Amino acid sequence: MADVVSRFLDYIKIDTKSNEESTSVPSTEIQFDLARKLVEELKGLGLEDAEVDDKCYIMATLPSNMDADIPVIGFIAHMDTSPDMSGTDVNPQIVENYDGGDIVLNKKEKIVLSPADFPELGYYVGQTLITTDGTTLLGADDKAGIAEIMTALERLKDDPKIKHGTIKIGFTPDEEIGRGADHFDVKKFGAELAYTLDGGRIGELEFENFNAAKAIVNVKGRNVHPGYAKNKMINSMLIAKEFDSMLPPNQTPFYTEGYEGFFHLISMAGEVESTKFVYIVRDHDMDKFKAKKALMEKIAGFLNEKHGENTVELILEDQYYNMREKIEPVMHVVEKAKQAMIDAGIKPLMTPIRGGTDGAKLSYMGLPTPNVFTGGHNYHGRFEYIPIESMKKAVELILGIISHYTS
């Protein structure tokens, strides 16, 4: 089997950061740089129909080597990396035989990956970790998933004794900005079920995720000379702060876990005349999700009554929904992955995704798509890392899932 690590290190050299402010598809042209490379690699592995379309979606087919009627399975990962941090000039570090202590990512900037801050590091004592150099993200989300899928494909190509049905491969752009499945042609893809390789810690198996919305709060103010502003000035920044203060203070990402939802203020910009706050709103439970949005509407209404009509404009946009509703009727897709993990000596961790995944939208588009681990941790930032042993287990898992559909 070709080295999944060498593939991963090759892919992360290519900057594929997506851009939420862009209206183009894909949101950044640089995503095509990786896409073209992957198409050539897929063709080299014998997937003759491999292609990338004008929106940067890759699809390819590995034909069945069996006569039996076996479900067509898809494996999907995304090519873009998060806009939260630079993905340019990624300089990975290899930490062999990790001793359980602090890892200095960048001596000059005094950036340290420490188990005091990230206790999950303790799971990997004695293993080999790939980390950042503290100046960029790593790109394991989701180039590790791509490397693992490609490596599994090569194993199938090189060993015809491994029986498999038809396998469909899909690589998407713009997942990190919530658009990864927007232009995914489920009918063309032709799979009956699929798995995204986009999870974190080894063992993660997920079939439920947040219901998600984006909220934009625009506040209008009125500026006059501050020396003569009594009963005249309307400071939009203070009203925006007032809006935020009326949200539940314990329902932010810092205070929540598991199935607990949150309001997350992701950006703010303002001056006296106008202020803009942008939030993401998340909850696994649909009723609680609706209640969160209703609370924001109630606060906006109250502030408009207090400060004047049209002072506060609230724009709410639903982004995706919990895929559990679509997966539960076909739970065998989860059970087969769970058994494949057990067979590989991996303890399944059935956890709700505290985020989103292409599989959420795809499941609502008619393609049931639970999510499995890639092995990475601390996505979207300078403290991202991935154990090599977890990546190799992910390859083993893909092959195990495939074998469970042939037996």
| Annotated catalytic residue within 41, 80, 208, 283 | 80
Question: Contact, 285 vs 261, CB < 8 A?
Answer: yes
HSE-CB for 149 with a 13 A CA cutoff: 32
141 is catalytic: no
Gap between the Cα atoms of 226 and 402, Å rounded: 69
Residue 29 designated active-site: no
Helices of type H across 236-331: 236-245, 286-307, 324-327
Q: What DSSP element (H or E) covers 50?
A: none
Q: Which of 154, 175, 176, 192 is flagged as catalytic?
A: 175
Name the CA radius of gyration of the chain, rounded: 23
Residue 44 CB: number of other CB atoms within 10 A? 11
- For residue 50, how far is the Cα from the chain centroid? 24
Its sign, for the CA torsion 347, 351, 354, 359, is positive
274-283: strand order across its sheet: 262-270, 274-283, 211-220, 312-320
CA–CA dist 386, 399 (Å, integer): 20
The angle at the Cα of 263, spanning 380 to 239, to the nearest 5 degrees, equals 115
Contacts 24+ apart (CB under 8 A), 116-125: 117/383, 118/377, 118/378, 118/383, 120/201, 120/377, 123/201, 124/98, 124/387, 124/389, 125/98, 125/99, 125/100
- Mind telling me the catalytic residues? 80, 175
